Every structure is written in structure tokens, then in C-alpha cells.
Structure 1
Amino acid sequence: MTLPTLFIPHGGGPCFFMDPAGGPPDPMWQGMQAYLAGLIASLPERPSAILLVSGHWETRDVAVHVGNGRPLLYDYGGFPPHTYHLQWPAPGAPDVARRAAALLEAAGFATSEEAERGWDHGVFIPMMVAVPGADIPLAQMALRHDLDPRAHIAIGRALAPLRDEGVLIVGSGMSFHNLRARGPQVTPIADQWDAALTAAVTDPDPIKRAERVARWQELPYATFAHPREEHLLPLMVALGAGGDDAAVCDYRDHVMGWAVSGYRFG
């Protein structure tokens, strides 16, 4: 069975786990938490492994992580002390990482292996919600530092065979990510950006879809939504891996005044 591919929001820092007693998050984050919590059940079958591309790891070539992601990388600051002791002890998936690297090499992309870096919060924060039992192996893959949208769409296309091998391909980022612009005054602009992005992502013609998303900087308020696009580029990988399959927006909400969306391909 062919699994879909996903572009998911990973929230802000440890946003779902701010209560040291384990209580629910701030109401602002509860919709996103519910979406993430339902992801695995929404799939046609439970994945044997996850290949995740986070907006928080960039390398010169395409790097794949062949370790176990620990110790975790708490790459956020200013949060309560307990959030620097969160754990998600899922096993690594070095076989999936190396299979991904082989597919990429065959498609002409230079790759490298890395084993020591901990999984960043773009991995473990959403996965603590989506896979709370930490019982699905995971391999992380880096963005290429040039952040070339067409290259990352092509990277996704090269990875598409994994979908028929039980691997769930996930892009983890945020569809809006301007940390200097927050609050209700941002919402009208964020809504216009989100509507334009969603129209491009869900274009029923897969060729036009890829071209429109690759030219994301031409959309209204694009560089306001993403002063730097590292949180958007995981979308390119998920879209590329989705191929000709239908694309839908399966999550939309507002956090911090931002319109934030998640997308599914297939």
C-alpha cells in the first residue's frame, strides 16, 4: 500500500509540553496538538518507519542521520526547565536513511551520513504528540543549505519509492514563520499568504502545482511570511514525494496571529 506524504506544523519550541504536570497546552495550541495526535490513525496503514525532514537541520549536501537521535537536541531557549528533559526514545532507522541516500545518489544528488547529531525539536516535539509510544523507527534527513525549492521538490521525487515500502515521508516546518511578527495585527496578512500558498499547493495539476510552489516568493506576502524559508522547504520535499497524487490542506488554524496550515499528498 502506498502511504501519503505530509507537511506538518511542529509548533513553537516545546509548546505542547509547557505544563510540568503534563496538563494540556495553552488553548491556542490545542487544535494543532489534536491534528498531530490523529496523524497515524488517519493513514491507510501504520508505517514501518518515518523519514522526517525538519526545518532545523541544513547541510551542504543532503545528509541522512544513521544514528538514534540521542541525546535530543533542545534547540530552543527561554522555556521552563522541564522542557529540556523531554524524551522521545524511538529507535533510529539507519536502514531507511541509507535506502533514502541510495535513491538520492541514483537521482544525482550528493549525500552524506551523520550519526551523532540529536534529533531537533522539529522532530521530537511533533513526534511526541503523533507517536507518543515512540514505537515507530525514525530517520531524519537534512535540508540542503542552498534551500533551492526546485532541488528539494526533485529530492522528494527521488524519495517517492519509499512510500511503497512502508515509510511515511514527513516534512516538519511551519507554513508561516516570521518570529518578529506576532499578534492579531498580523492575521489579515497571514491569511492572504495562507490562501495563496494553499491554492498553489492544492492545484489539481501536479505539474502546475510544483511550479507554483517552487515560485513561492511570487505569492502575496511571501517574504513577510518567510524572511528565511527554511521552515517552508520541508513542504517542497513532501510535495515532490507526493508526485501526481491529489493534494489537500488537512489542517488550518491560527496561532500567535499566524494562519498555519498542514498538507497531505496522496
Structure 2
Amino acid sequence: MTLPALFVPHGGGPCFFMDPDGGPPDPMWRPMQAYLGGLIESLPERPKAILLVSGHWEEDQVTVHAGDGHPLLFDYYGFPEHTYRLRWDTPGAPEVAIRAKALIEGAGFPVGVERERGWDHGVFIPMMVAVPEADIPLAQLSLRKDLDPAAHIAIGKALAPLRDEGVLIVGSGMSFHNMRAFGPQVTPIADQWDAALTEAVTDPDPARRAGRIAAWDRLPHGRFAHPREEHLLPLMVALGAGGEGPAACDYRGHVLGWTVSGYRFG
């Protein structure tokens, strides 16, 4: 059975784990937490492994993490002390990483291999919610520092065969990510951006869909939503991996005054 490819919001820092006693997060984050918590159940079958590309890892060339991701990389700042002791001990998936490397190289892209870097919070924060038992092996894929949207779509397309091999491909970022714009005054602009992005992402013609998303910065308020697009690039990989299948928005919510969506391909 073919698994979909997903683009999911990963929240803000350790937003789902701010209570040291394990209580529910700030009400603002609960809808996103519920969405992430239902991801695995929503799939046609449980994945054998996950390949995840995070908006928090960039390299000169796309790089696969073929290690076990431990210790975690706490790449957020100014949060409560207990959030730097979180654990998510899922095993790595080095065989998936090497398979991904071969597929991407087959599409003409050089690929690096890394085994020591911990999983950043774009990995472990959403995955602690989605896979709390830490029992699905995971491999991580970096972005390319040039942030070329067409290249990332092509990289995703190269990875599409993994979907038939029991691997869930996940892009982890935020569909809106302007760290200088917060509050209700931002929401009308964020709503307009989100509507335009969703219309492009869900275009029924896959080729036109890819072209529209590659030109994301021409959409209304594109550069306001993403002054720098590293949190949007995981969407490009997921879209490419989705191939010719349908695309849908399966989450939409508001946090920090932002409008944030998640998407499913295939």
C-alpha cells in the first residue's frame, strides 16, 4: 500500500511540552497537538519507517542522517529548563537513509551522509506527539542551503518510491513563519497568504501545482509570510514526493496570530 507524503507544522520551540508535570499545553497549541497526535492513525497502514526533512537543518548539498539521532539537538533558546531534558528514543533508520541517498543521486543530485548530529526540534517535537511510543525508526534529510524550490521539489520526486516501501515521508516546517510579526493584527494578512498557498498546493494538475509552489514568493504576502523560506522548503519535498496524486489541506489553525496549515499528498 502506498503511503502519503505529509507537510506538518512543528509548532514553536517545545510548545507541546511546556508543562513540567505533563499537563496540556497552552490552549492555543492544542488543535495542532491533536492533529499531530492523530497522524499515524490517519494513514492507510502503519509506517515501517519515517524519512523527515526539517526546516532546521541545512547543508551545502542535501545530506542524509544515517545515525540514531541521539542525543537530541536542543536548538531552541530561552525555554524552561525541563524542556532541555526531553527524550525521544526512537531508533534511527540507516537503511532508509542510504536508500534515500541512492534515489536522490539517481536524480542527479550529490548527497552527503552524516551520522553524529542529533535530531533537531523540527524532528523530535512533532514526532514526540505523533509517535509517543518512539517505536517507528526515523531517518532525517537536510535542506540545501540554496533553498532552491524547484530543486527541493525534484528531490522529493526522487524519493517517491519510498512511499511504496512502507516509508512515510514528512516535511516538518511552518506554512507561516515570520518571527517579527505576531498578534491578531497579523491574522488577516496570514489568512490571505494561507488561502493562496492552499489553492496552489491543492491545484488538481500536479505539474501546475509544482510550478505554482516553486514560485511561492509571487503569491500574495509570500515574502511577509516567509522573510526566509527555510520553514516552507520541507513542503516542496513533500509535494514532490506526492507525485501525481491528489493534494489536500488536512489541518488549518491559528497560533501567535499566524494562520498555519498542514498538507497531505497522495
In which range does the TM-score fall when normalised by the shorter chain? over 0.9
* CA distance in 1: counterparts of 2:205 and 2:13, whole angstroms: 35
Q: Which residue of 2 aligns with 1:85?
A: 85
* CA distance in 1: counterparts of 2:24 and 2:40, whole angstroms: 20
* CA distance in 1: counterparts of 2:112 and 2:84, whole angstroms: 29
| Equivalent residue letter for 1:232 | L
Q: How many residues align?
A: 266
Query: What CA deviation, in whole Å up to 9, does each residue of 1:129-158 have, x standing for no partner?
Result: 000000000000000110000000000000
Q: Could you say what secondary structure the match of 1:88 adopts? A: coil
Alignment TM-score, normalising by the size of structure 2:
1.00
Q: Which residue of 2 aligns with 1:177?
A: 177
Following TM superposition, by how much is the alpha carbon of 1:205 offset from its aligned partner in structure 2, in angstroms? Answer: 0.6
Query: What CA deviation, in whole Å up to 9, does each residue of 1:105-149 have, x standing for no partner?
Result: 111010010001000000000000000000000000000110000
Q: Structure 1: 5+ residue runs without aligned partners? A: none
| Equivalent residue letter for 2:108 | G
Q: Which residue of 1 aligns with 2:206?
A: 206
Q: Which residue of 1 aligns with 2:259?
A: 259
Q: Which residue of 2 aligns with 1:94?
A: 94
Following TM superposition, by how much is the alpha carbon of 1:54 offset from its aligned partner in structure 2, in angstroms? Answer: 0.0
Answering whether residue 225 of structure 2 is matched by residue 225 of structure 1, we say yes
Query: What CA deviation, in whole Å up to 9, does each residue of 1:82-102 have, x standing for no partner?
Result: 000000000000000000000
Identity %: 78
| Equivalent residue letter for 1:51 | L
Q: Which residue of 1 aligns with 2:238?
A: 238
User: How do 1:66-215 residues align onto structure 2 when only pairs under 5 Å count?
Assistant: 66-215=66-215
Q: Could you say what secondary structure the match of 2:11 adopts? A: coil
* CA distance in 2: counterparts of 1:60 and 1:199, whole angstroms: 31
Q: Could you say what secondary structure the match of 1:87 adopts? A: coil
Q: Structure 2: 5+ residue runs without aligned partners? A: none
| Equivalent residue letter for 1:106 | G
Q: Could you say what secondary structure the match of 2:41 adopts? A: helix
* CA distance in 2: counterparts of 1:109 and 1:207, whole angstroms: 21
Q: Which residue of 1 aligns with 2:39?
A: 39
Question: Deviation above 2 Å: which 4+ runs of structure 1?
Answer: none
Two-structure CA RMSD over aligned residues (Å): 0.3
Q: Could you say what secondary structure the match of 1:41 adopts? A: coil
* CA distance in 2: counterparts of 1:102 and 1:148, whole angstroms: 21
Query: What CA deviation, in whole Å up to 9, does each residue of 1:2-60 have, x standing for no partner?
Result: 00000000000000000000000000000000000000000000000000000000001
* CA distance in 2: counterparts of 1:88 and 1:144, whole angstroms: 26
| Equivalent residue letter for 1:6 | L
Following TM superposition, by how much is the alpha carbon of 1:231 offset from its aligned partner in structure 2, in angstroms? Answer: 0.1
Query: What CA deviation, in whole Å up to 9, does each residue of 1:170-193 have, x standing for no partner?
Result: 000000000110000000000000
| Equivalent residue letter for 2:249 | C
| Equivalent residue letter for 2:18 | M
Alignment TM-score, normalising by the size of structure 1:
1.00
Q: Could you say what secondary structure the match of 1:40 adopts? A: coil
* CA distance in 1: counterparts of 2:16 and 2:62, whole angstroms: 30
* CA distance in 2: counterparts of 1:145 and 1:56, whole angstroms: 11
| Equivalent residue letter for 2:111 | T
Q: Could you say what secondary structure the match of 2:75 adopts? A: coil
| Equivalent residue letter for 1:26 | D
| Equivalent residue letter for 1:99 | R
